[in-house]
């Protein structure tokens, strides 16, 4: 049974309070919050003031995915805004080990996110220091893209590395997760499913979350 992390990027921002209440009333454990800066990725989403507001609307885990350059400049602000897990991209960090330490020192769990082109072996010397790996199954920047099938091989490789070096690390799969591919993603070794469009564009989001949870 995977942890379900609905991505608010696909929600209706005019009805954000209702969308938060829906997740609160569902079996989803985490809120997945996608922060984009228009530099690391070719899109801009939402940032600190929105996350501060969401913090007041839930006691569930806020899983913040930073798709930004120089994340070290903002880690403290995201801690103050109420993030529980903060993930930074390996491709955006020249000093990843220091960034992970900073996130831990601020009292958050630390994740490293990896783009589709980034090989798993680059995680070998950081895997013992992180709590989560966000394995991107689409190119970051947009919701609603198709799952890249090669990700399944990367999940299996990452599962093996994690089992050998740090078994408690969560493997989060982010992008294009749906009711058809979730079983193979979990079978390959994932423990957290991010789902944006699959949840928020469905007729009954609470039921869709329940179905993902059953897989
Ligand atoms: C993409 C984001 C994802 C996205 C997932 O850059 O990191 O979290 O919101 O959306 P879906 O599930 O619609 O692909
Ligand atoms: Zn994300």
- Chain segment 133-154, per-residue pLDDT in tens: 999 999 999 999 999 999 999 9
172 lines ligand 1 (CB under 6 A): no
- Chain segment 176-193, per-residue pLDDT in tens: 999 999 999 999 999 999
What ranges make up the beta strands (E) of the chain? 3-6, 30-36, 61-67, 85-89, 109-114, 132-136, 170-174, 192-195
| pLDDT score, position 121 | 98
Q: Is 37 a catalytic residue?
A: no
Mean per-residue pLDDT for 94-105? 98
Confidence of residue 86 (pLDDT cuts 50, 70, 90): very high
- Chain segment 66-79, per-residue pLDDT in tens: 999 999 999 999 99
Confidence of residue 14 (pLDDT cuts 50, 70, 90): very high
Domains in the chain, number? 1
| pLDDT score, position 143 | 97
Buried b (16+ CB within 10 A) or exposed e, 103-122: beebebbbbbbbbeebebee
174 lines ligand 1 (CB under 6 A): yes
43 CA from centroid of ligand 1 (Å) = 12
Main-chain dihedrals φ then ψ at residue 116, nearest 5 degrees: -55, -30
State how far the alpha carbon of 137 is from the alpha carbons of 68, 70, 110, 197, in Å: 18, 23, 20, 14
Chain mean pLDDT for the chain: 98
Given a contact cutoff of 8 angstroms between Cβ atoms, the answer to whether 67 and 41 are in contact is yes
Domain extent for 94:
3-214
SS3 170: strand
CATH of the domain at 203: 3.20.20.70
Q: Which residue has the tokens 């957290």?
A: 192
- Chain segment 30-49, per-residue pLDDT in tens: 999 999 999 999 999 999 99
- Chain segment 155-169, per-residue pLDDT in tens: 999 999 999 999 999
Query: pLDDT exceeding 70 applies to what percent of the chain?
Result: 100
107 CA from centroid of ligand 2 (Å) = 21
174 CA from centroid of ligand 1 (Å) = 6
Mean per-residue pLDDT for 97-112? 98
């Amino acid at each position: 049974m995977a942890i379900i992390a609905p991505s608010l990027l696909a929600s209706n921002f005019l009805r954000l309070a209702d969308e938060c209440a829906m997740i609160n009333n569902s079996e989803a454990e985490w809120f997945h919050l996608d922060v984009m800066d228009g530099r690391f990725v070719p899109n801009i989403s939402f940032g600190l003031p929105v996350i501060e507001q969401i913090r007041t609307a839930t006691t569930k885990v806020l899983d913040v995915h930073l798709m930004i350059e120089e994340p070290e400049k903002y880690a403290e602000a995201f801690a103050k805004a109420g993030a529980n897990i903060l993930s930074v991209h390996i491709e955006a960090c020249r000093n990843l080990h220091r960034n992970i330490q900073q996130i831990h020192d601020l009292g958050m769990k630390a994740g490293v996110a990896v783009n589709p082109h980034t090989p798993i072996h680059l995680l070998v010397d950081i895997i013992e220091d992180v709590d989560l790996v966000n394995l991107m199954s689409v190119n970051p920047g947009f919701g609603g893209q198709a799952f890249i099938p090669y990700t399944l091989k990367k999940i299996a490789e990452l599962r093996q590395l994690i089992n050998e070096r740090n078994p408690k690390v969560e493997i989060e799969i982010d992008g294009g997760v749906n009711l058809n591919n979730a079983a193979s993603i979990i079978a390959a070794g994932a423990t957290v499913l991010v789902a944006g469009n699959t949840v928020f564009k469905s007729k009954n989001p609470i039921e869709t979350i329940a179905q993902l949870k059953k897989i």
